[in-house]
Amino acid sequence: MVRSAEINGEIESLPKAFVPVVLAENEGRGKEKVGDIYRAQSILPYAVREHSADDEITGEREAYTASILEMYESFLGRRIRHHLGYPTHVYVNYGALSNLQNFCINNCGNPFTEGIFGTHSRQFEVGVLDWFARIWGIAMDEYWGYVTTGGTEGNFHGILVGRELFPDGILYTSDDSHYSVFRAAQMYRMNFVKVNSLISGEIDCADFKAKLLRNMNKPAIVNVNIGTTFKGGIDNLDSVMETLKTTGFSEDRFYIHCDGALFGLMMPFVKRAPKISFEKPIGSVCISGHKFLGCPMPCGVQITRIGHIRAISRNIDYIGCHQDATLMGSRNGHAPIFLWYALNQKGYPGLQKEVQMCLKNAQYLKDRLRASGISAMLNEFSNIVVFEKPQNEEFVRYWQLAVQGDLAHIVVMPNITVAQLNDFLRDLAEKRAIWLREGKHQTLCVSANVGKENCVCPRHK
């Protein structure tokens, strides 16, 4: 059963993706039931093999594992050449850190206290946190944070802090928010209101105001998107705060969490871009470390005001940890080292150069698509190019395009070169000509999703 919240007569249902997965009885691999939807098992596993007693003599075990790893490395090499639809910097050289893989490094608990567990990387973690605190304009003695497993955990943490500060608060978030925000509402059993989005993906502050006015008796917990997942729409933080103010919500009656998974690290390096800063009355910010920075494992950074964190802190005697407010028990101690290394290697100038390159290449891609007669949209300060979805599933899978309805997108990350974009454009043009000739493709009107000015269907061309 999908839980829903009723707020002044408005029913907000959680997405179908949250329906529990139920394994079908008496059926082998290949069938799982999600509500009334069956899906086939498409993963062919690398088997864990048992070996004979004379393995040490024949070397069969070593040969088997070496062959599988070689095969897998070749697979990754092929796949990253066509990895266009998702915000991951898929190849960065971290060879200098290879020897550290021999150690189990665990940062369980509060990163600012030593604890008992000896093989940790807190010195790297706090160094990374201090760097982000400077970027986001909060004094060292006024923030608390930690390195997370990624943007989802950052959203879970920020929204939890908001709920603990305002137990009867209502969570407001836009249609275009990441699914983890809706999952947080489900996990914490929070009432939430879904706010309309503009065509850009940005939150519609007129609708936000109307929905605030219907719930004046409840505090507001607001998720602000610093770049939406699909369209790269940036919620106007100043407009959100002004809407709260003019609606009668004082700073002691709202909490703002900023989901900056991808753009949270990019915006500080774009001169005219809206700034995320704790000089404004926000409560928390999170980013993903495996996206723009290119860490080889999913990770992220969460920063919040230290005054808020006491609402969820606990003392954990087992590990000798005081005031732990993290969501996890054991935490990946390698992730902070990779984040620290990337920040030191790139530095402010290097990050700024990569941001500018991504924005420039995204503009190039959008212009080429439009010149080819394909509807395309690119928000300001964004590296996400949204365009009419190719009507061929094999093509979509080959280029690993993220799709939503009649749209697809490409996220132009630092590892994506103009040459790769040209390969994609050439392949799309050739295949599209064949699809059109064979009647397997027709130009769709996507003006409702990207705006008339970005649609090149026969009606709007």
Q: List active site positions.
A: 382
Supply the DSSP string of 168-195, one letter for each residue.
T-EEEEETTS-HHHHHHHHHTT--EEEE
- Locate tokens 């420039």: which residue? 360
CA-based nearest residue to 154, from 310, 19, 283, 341? 283
Write out the two tokens for 359: 């924005």
Number of Cβ within 10 Å of residue 224's Cβ equals 24
Write out the two tokens for 228: 């939406």
Give the bridge partners for 11, in sequence order: 6
3-state secondary structure of 333: coil
User: Phi and psi (nearest 5°) for 183?
Assistant: -65, -35
CA-based nearest residue to 88, from 396, 411, 417, 418? 411
Contact in structure between 24 and 33 (CB atoms under 8 Å): yes
User: Phi and psi (nearest 5°) for 111?
Assistant: -70, -15
Supply the DSSP string of 17-42, one letter for each residue.
GGSPEEPPTT--TT-EEETTEEE---
**280-310 as b/e: b if 16+ CB within 10 A:** ebbbbbbbbbbbbbbbbebbbbbbbbbebbe
d(Cα 87, Cα 253) in Å, to the nearest integer? 34
3-state secondary structure of 215: coil
- Locate tokens 């190719």: which residue? 390
CA-based nearest residue to 416, from 92, 81, 94, 93? 81
Torsion of CA 136, 138, 143, 148, to 10 degrees: 10
**Counting every residue, how long is the chain?**
461
- Name the burial class of residue 429, with classes exposed (0-12), middle (13-18) and buried (19+) by CB atoms within 10 angstroms of its CB: middle
CA-based nearest residue to 260, from 243, 242, 246, 273? 273
Strand pairing class (220-225; 254-259):
parallel
Strand pairing class (376-378; 384-388):
antiparallel
